[in-house]
Structures are given as C-alpha cells and as structure tokens.
Structure 1
C-alpha cells in the first residue's frame, strides 16, 4: 500500500505533526509543493487554520489532486480558531475523494499563545492517529 504525507506549515507547527506521523508510518513527509502519485492509497494531509481560513496554497493543492488518491486523513494545528478539518473535508469531498471521519488536531504555538505546542504529548497522539488510520486499512 502506498501512503503519502503532504502538509503546508508556515510556522513549523504542522510540520512537527507531519514528521511524527511520517515516523510512525515509515514514509517521508513532504510539503504540498511535491505532487502526490496517482496510486496513493492513503494521503495524510496537514494544514492550519488562519484568520481567513485554510491557506489558498493548500486549497489550490487540494483542487489539483487526482481522484486516484483513494483516501485522505486530515491533520491540523491552530492557535486560536478551531480545526481546519471541516473546510479541508468540504474541498476534498467536492472532488469525490474519501475523507476519514476522524481527524487529528492540536494547538500550535503562535506568538505567546500555546508556548511549546505541539508538544511531546501532542506528537504521541499524532502517532496514535496514524496507527489508527493505518490499522483501519489493515496495513500492519
């Protein structure tokens, strides 16, 4: 099975989560600058919520995804607003791409808010999320 990880991280928070997931599933996390191969069984897709919503670069990436990406697991970080899941899910479902109902979301450090987040506990939970997603698909 082919598992890919793509993310957009402006501050490094989402990258930390992407790297934790990558370590757990044994692949390399890549930014959204790298295309996703068409034979992808699971794409772990990460982003963050900003004041105006999901970043336009991430939206463009999603709109360019090939429908041969079978399933997407969403992870996100935010400092103030809620999870990026609803907005990312809506974009993916509009392309008829399956999106897991469960997501991973944690606080991310921004200025003086949530200092040190994501922390070691958050990253362990991200790894558990990856295990849960891959075990659903009998990859292990």
Structure 2
C-alpha cells in the first residue's frame, strides 16, 4: 500500500474521525444490548431492531479497521514551495479537460492534504492521495 499523504490538519482530522467512529461503536453496542434484552425469547431473526443494530455495528467496525490499517501509512507533509511554478498543498488550480475539439470542460480545484475531502466545499477539493493529486 502507498503512503497516505496528509497535512497537519488532515492528520488531526484522521484521529477526530477515528475517535468519532469509536464513540458511535460504543453507542451502537449499548443500543444492541437493549434491543437484545427487549426481545429475549425471540429469535435474532425476528428482532429487526437488533438485526439492524448489528448490521450498523459491523459497518462501523469495518470502517474503524480500515482506518487502523491506514494509520500505518499516514505521512505528514508540509507546504514546501513558495514559488508560483510549483503546485503545492492548498493551491487552487484551473484545469481544462479536452475530450474532443468541441467538448472542453474547465474545473477549479484545490489540492488538499485532508484525510477526507469536503464534498460540499465551494471549490472542489482534490486529495494528495488521488491520482490527479499525486
């Protein structure tokens, strides 16, 4: 696996997300216990709340495991360049994509060192770890 490049904010974002998921996991575990107790005597397959809670728990656990695996590859990188000739973290770029002579699209993107990009940002963010970001 390749290194996962993040800036300091991305590094902090990674651990905030990991802690948030761990908190959710603990919360789901307690809800699962309550769902199980509420339906003692019913088979697990008859208890939708318990089944749904377990499904959600597995999804969160999978995400936590992926993040713990990613942790081994996290590398903090800092903005290096002050030159306008070199693209660096935080730079905003205009990219023209030419599909055909009459089919040209222009995008404005920001190169970011975040662990998870913000899909709702005004300017489309591109991670250092994406193919275009590398």
> TM (normalized to structure 1)?
0.23
Structure with higher Rg: it is 2
Larger relative contact order, structure 1 or 2 (CA cutoff 8 Å, min sep 6): 2
Output the TM-score relative to the length of structure 2: 0.24
Normalized per residue, which structure has more helix? 2
